[in-house]
């Protein structure tokens, strides 16, 4: 797959608690609803996010892990920037329906409409859905399982047969304070997976619009 190398930030706000296997179905649903409400409460307070990230690609065909490093920026509610700076400079920035991307030299950019590049469209849809805590939209596409407590640990399983061809599940682990995502794992059906760790997260720092143009 490799369109999900970027994913998630995605994605980028929240929390949860381990479900009670001995509880009734109604209790489990109530518990999950409480978790989603907590996530929504955190999301409503976030205007911007800034952080470093480390991305690791674990591929069965390679003995070594492929590691990249970069920076992520998000500004409510339709602006984001995902940039690699090691081992090479590359990335993209989105502002509404417009986007730019670059490789090797950030001064050499390509401008395009987001819908023209499927992996960027998928990525931005995911980020903005999580940033807005739009669970109605997310649950149409994924079965969301609460598997961990504090910190919260969620798994998202795709519902569509088409998406299942390249995605087994996404695991999301949140910060203890429910303010942001700390780690994302994107697992493919063949066992390969991408792990992204988010570091030095800053919330609601002023960000200039020029970052996204």
Query: DSSP letter string over 69-130?
Result: EEEEEEETTTEEEEEEEESS-EEEEEETTEEEEEES-TTSEEEEEGGGSHHHHHHHHHHHHH
Q: Reduced to 3 states, what is the DSSP secondary structure of residue 139?
A: helix
pLDDT value, residue 47: 92
- Smallest Cα–Cα separation from 56: which of 94, 84, 89? 84
Topology of domain 3-205, CATH: outer membrane lipoprotein receptor (LolB), chain A (2.50.20)
Question: pLDDT tens, position by position, for the chain (213 residues)?
Answer: 444 444 444 443 333 333 344 457 788 788 777 777 777 788 788 899 999 999 999 998 988 999 999 999 999 889 999 999 999 999 999 999 999 999 876 567 899 999 898 888 888 887 888 777 787 888 899 999 887 667 778 899 999 998 899 899 999 887 776 667 888 899 999 999 999 999 999 999 999 999 998
Q: Copy the structure tokens of residue 100.
A: 């730019």
What number of other Cβ atoms are within 10 A of residue 116's Cβ? Answer: 10
Domain boundaries in the chain? 3-205
- Smallest Cα–Cα separation from 7: which of 193, 203, 211? 193
85 close to 108: Cβ distance less than 8 angstroms: no
133 close to 14: Cβ distance less than 8 angstroms: yes
């Amino acid at each position: 797959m490799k369109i999900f190398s970027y994913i998630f930030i995605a994605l980028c706000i929240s929390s949860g608690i381990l479900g009670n296997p001995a509880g009734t179905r109604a209790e489990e649903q109530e518990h999950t609803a409480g978790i989603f409400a907590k996530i929504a409460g955190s999301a409503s307070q976030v205007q911007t996010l800034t952080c470093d990230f480390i991305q690791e690609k674990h591929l069965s065909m390679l003995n070594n892990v492929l590691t990249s490093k970069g920076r992520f920026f998000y500004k409510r509610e339709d602006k984001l920037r995902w940039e690699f700076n090691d081992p090479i400079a590359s990335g993209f920035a989105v502002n509404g329906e417009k986007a730019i991307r670059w490789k090797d030299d950030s001064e050499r950019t390509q401008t395009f409409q987001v819908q023209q590049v499927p992996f960027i469209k998928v990525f931005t849809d995911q980020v903005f859905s999580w940033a807005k805590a739009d669970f109605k939209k997310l649950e149409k596409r994924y079965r969301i399982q609460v598997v961990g407590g504090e910190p919260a640990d969620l798994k998202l399983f795709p519902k569509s047969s088409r998406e299942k061809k390249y995605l087994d599940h996404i695991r999301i682990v949140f910060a203890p304070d429910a303010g942001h995502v700390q780690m994302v794992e994107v697992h493919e059906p063949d066992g390969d997976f991408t792990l992204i760790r988010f570091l030095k997260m800053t919330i609601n720092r002023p960000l200039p619009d020029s970052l996204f143009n």
